[in-house]
Amino acid sequence: MIKAARDTLLQAYPNAPWRSQVQVIGVFAVGLVSIAMLAGLYLVVSVQAATLGREIQDIQADILEVQRENANLETRLAELTSAAVMENRALVMGFQPASEGSREYLPVPGYVSRQAVVLAPPPGLAVPQGTEFPIELNQTLFQWFEDLLRSANFEAVQEPGAAPEQPGP
Amino acid sequence: MTQHWRFSTIALAFTVAGLMILVKLVEVQFAGPDRDFLLRQSDIYSGTWITVYPSRGHIYDRWGNLLAANEAVYQIGLDLEAVIDPAGIAYAVSLITDEEYDRVYQIASQEPGPDLRFPIIADYVPYDDVEKLDNLKRTLASLEARSEDQPIKSLHGLIFTPHLTRSYPEGDLASNVLGFFSRNGQGYYGVEEKYNELLSGEPTRVWVPEDPYQVEDLPEIPPGADIVLTIDREIQEMVEDILDKAVIHNGAEAGTIIILDPNSGEILSMAAYPRIDPNAYWKFDELISGTTPFNPAVSNAYEPGSVYKILTMAAAFDDGAVDLDTVFLDEGRIEIGGAEIKNWNQAAWGEQDMVGCLQHSLNVCLAWIATRLGPGSFYEYMLDFGIGHATGIDLAGEVSGRLKVPGDSDWYTADLGTNSFGQGVSVTPLQMVLAAAALANDGEIMAPHILRSLINNGHQYDPPPQLIATPITPETARTVTLMLATSLEDEASVALVPGYRLAGKTGTAEIPTPYGYTSAVTNTSFVGWGPADDPQFVVYIWLEKPTSSIWGSVVAAPIFRTVVERLVLLMNIPPDDIRLGAAVP
């Protein structure tokens, strides 16, 4: 019975050669679609990476712009609160400079006089560090895949449960 | 069969073409004659090396008020390939900025070439002007129809590139201390020059790739260090205001006032007249003549005159050459080394104790005291007081003055007599105030400094005060302080401030010329400190060549009083009775 079926099949192919062609085309199409899918996936990831790269560049430009604006605002604020401007404003508002006759000193127990400015912590105290980009933002799909393989390979060569190497005496 | 041949031919043709492309690709990539050129081209367009200059550090006064900061200004340039209307650009730029129409038009109408594409029209243009130009540019770009008689048709091609520049929000306040930061990237004078490297930070070259895959976080370029000065803005403003008025009122050529904390060596105020606005430092020559230093307090050595007598008296007391019981018979003249020395009024004052010698500022008495000390001891004390060598203050341009000592080829015995009352010796105002600080601080001289704190890499460093010399004992310092306080009170000096016991001494110095000393014009000065029992400040006044009077007691002493009247308020120093009453319950 098996022999009969095999004979029938062998006979069918010479009688209908398109079957072989369809098979070849099918395999080719599967390969093509697979490649297209990979290429498409790669393209999407690439576009996302490129877009993020540009966004990073834009953000860096924005940071510089904000820094310049901050510098301008600091300077403007300092101008508005400069000694001469403040004195003029005080005079316009009706204040008078303190004179010998207008002052009165009162003893205030525990009074702490004006302290010098502290603009930053003294040496020894931790200072917050700047942020860093996560590696994913700089990594292509292939680099990610390569890293994945490399880490998988590294885990494979590690014996499960092996103790970490100890330094000798 | 025929069909099969055709297919084979086409397949062969495609194969050959493919192979040729492949061969060409390999050739271009690895072996072709254009390989190096193409590699260079790819390098050029793959990114840019830029030098990132950290923002220059800020300068604050002791309370955190900004004295020097940064602000954004713009460079206006052109992309010649994009320029449509050179005349319109010239018209708009000349209308809004100070640039000349002809110059801008000449630049804008050039033909672009390989070496000429992005010329610069103007730099350091303020934001307001750039905003007007940018708005105009956008408005014109959005207009579809333009009339032919419209003067500006398009500002296409104008480029605005921002960068930071130095700004001094307080104008000319303390400019003699700050110095200025020029547009060539260098700090000049004062703090800006002395701390230029710290303020500037480290410029860093950074590769900025065009390829978005290669984009990396720009490295953190730390800004230049911030600096907190010992200067008190309110005191500085007060002192400058008084000094400006005093110089004009007295018809003086120039003036200097220094206020020092004798306990720490901190400079609370250092004012000079004339001074510049560092925001327009290029007007330097209009305000400061060739012979006037930028900061006379540290750069101008002159013969101080009678204020110097406090040092001679302190040295003599410390050495034991005189004491409070010593009496000098003033005959109106004394001869030392062949030179005759007389008093300021050419008169003989008779018997005088040491307080009287200071109170009446007797040259003859002080010259006699110097002879009792002897040259060896006298000059040793003067050197210990810091006369003749730079103080080491952290300001650019300090000079050391000149103290001739025995052994120098130009020193004569007569110099001992003249030096004793401040002639024949040159000092800077800072040297003089520092020497006086020894009397105000129990005989100790603290290192003078203008830097209070340094903020670098996120941390604030506060250098501690440093003792640099102890020329006299605490007992001598207190004794001379009390003598000077008494002499001021006895003569009812105009330097006195009600409620506060102050010590001080006037100075009137003749000015040496190529033809000898002249009495027609003088340097008038006053040095004083207080409160006498616990000095918190030393004030030094110097007016150069006043025309209202030649006497320090007339010119400088009232300025001292005006300064101290307001200084005690700003420093929160109550009158002696309240302060001492509060201290002793």
| For A106, nearest residue in chain B (alpha carbons) | B578
Taking an 8 Å cut-off on Cβ atoms, the answer to whether B62 and A117 are in contact is yes
Cβ contacts of B201 on chain A, cutoff 8 Å: none
Taking an 8 Å cut-off on Cβ atoms, the answer to whether A74 and B226 are in contact is no
Same domain, B162 and B238: no
Residue contacts between A and B (CB atoms, under 8 Å): 126
The number of domains in chain B is 2
Same domain, B273 and B367: yes
Of A98, A107, A117, Cβ closest to residue B60:
A117
Give the residue from B144, B169, B194 where a domain finishes. Answer: B169
Which tokens in the block code for residue B522?
A: 């003088």
Q: Coil, helix or strand for B137? A: helix
| B218 within domain boundaries | no
Same domain, B253 and B147: no
Of A118, A119, A123, Cβ closest to residue B226:
A119
| For B172, nearest residue in chain A (alpha carbons) | A84
| For A115, nearest residue in chain B (alpha carbons) | B63
Q: Is B459 on the interface with A (CB under 8 A)?
A: yes
CA atoms within 13 A on the CB side of B390: 12
Rounded to two decimals, the ipTM of the complex is 0.81
Q: Report the DSSP beta bridge partners of residue B342.
A: B333
Of B66, B499, B565, Cβ closest to residue A78:
B66
Which tokens in the block code for residue A35?
A: 């490649």
- With beta carbons less than 8 A apart as the criterion, state whether B308 and B552 touch: no
DSSP state, residue B313: H
Q: Coil, helix or strand for A51? A: helix
Task: Give the integer Cα–Cα distance in Å for B308 and B427.
Answer: 10
Nearest Cα neighbor of A48 from A139, A143, A134 is: A139
Q: How much is the pLDDT for A165?
A: 43
Cβ contacts of B226 on chain A, cutoff 8 Å: 119
Task: Give the integer Cα–Cα distance in Å for B400 and B378.
Answer: 19
Of A83, A121, A138, Cβ closest to residue B460:
A121
Q: Is A7 on the interface with B (CB under 8 A)?
A: no
* CATH code assigned at B332: 3.40.710.10
Q: Is A119 on the interface with B (CB under 8 A)?
A: yes
Of A50, A77, A83, Cβ closest to residue B237:
A83
Task: Give the integer Cα–Cα distance in Å for B237 and B243.
Answer: 10
Q: Is B47 on the interface with A (CB under 8 A)?
A: no
β-pairing verdict for B226-229 and B59-60: parallel
Same domain, B543 and B414: yes
Task: Give the integer Cα–Cα distance in Å for B155 and B152.
Answer: 8
Q: Is A146 on the interface with B (CB under 8 A)?
A: no
| CA B431 to chain CA mean position, Å | 17
Q: Coil, helix or strand for B63? A: coil
| CA A23 to chain CA mean position, Å | 48
| For A77, nearest residue in chain B (alpha carbons) | B169
- With beta carbons less than 8 A apart as the criterion, state whether B419 and B311 touch: no
Residues of chain B with pLDDT under 50: 584-585
Find residues 11-40 of chain A whose CB sits inside 8 Å of chain B: none
Domain range for B349 is 233-583
DSSP state, residue B559: H
Taking an 8 Å cut-off on Cβ atoms, the answer to whether A120 and B458 are in contact is yes
Same domain, B288 and B155: no
Q: Report the DSSP beta bridge partners of residue B503.
A: B529
| B332 within domain boundaries | yes
Q: How much is the pLDDT for B584?
A: 47
| For A52, nearest residue in chain B (alpha carbons) | B212
| For B170, nearest residue in chain A (alpha carbons) | A82
Q: Which residue has the tokens 């290669």?
A: B214
Q: How much is the pLDDT for B131?
A: 92
- With beta carbons less than 8 A apart as the criterion, state whether B526 and B559 touch: yes
Same domain, B484 and B562: yes
Q: How much is the pLDDT for B2?
A: 56
| B103 within domain boundaries | yes
Taking an 8 Å cut-off on Cβ atoms, the answer to whether B173 and A84 are in contact is yes
Of B213, B459, B582, Cβ closest to residue A127:
B459
CA distance A90 to chain B (A): 14
Cβ contacts of A71 on chain B, cutoff 8 Å: 55, 69-72, 164
Which tokens in the block code for residue B317?
A: 């007391």
Cβ contacts of A82 on chain B, cutoff 8 Å: 169-171, 173
Taking an 8 Å cut-off on Cβ atoms, the answer to whether A78 and B65 are in contact is yes
Same domain, B312 and B431: yes
Give the residue from B135, B169, B203 where a domain finishes. Answer: B169
| For A109, nearest residue in chain B (alpha carbons) | B582
| B534 within domain boundaries | yes
| B130 within domain boundaries | yes
Find residues 166-205 of chain B whose CB sits inside 8 Å of chain A: 167, 169-171, 173
Q: How much is the pLDDT for B566?
A: 94
Same domain, B120 and B247: no
| B219 within domain boundaries | no
CA distance B560 to chain A (A): 16
| B50 within domain boundaries | no
Question: Model confidence over A96-146: pLDDT tens digits?
Answer: 888 777 888 888 888 888 888 899 888 876 655 555 556 666 677 777 778
Same domain, B117 and B246: no
Q: How much is the pLDDT for B505?
A: 96
CA dihedral A35, A41, A45, A48 (to 10 degrees): 120
Same domain, B367 and B494: yes
| B31 within domain boundaries | no
Same domain, B509 and B422: yes
* CATH code assigned at B82: 3.30.70
Give the residue from B119, B147, B169 where a domain finishes. Answer: B169
Its pTM surpasses 0.80: yes
| For A117, nearest residue in chain B (alpha carbons) | B63
Same domain, B124 and B250: no
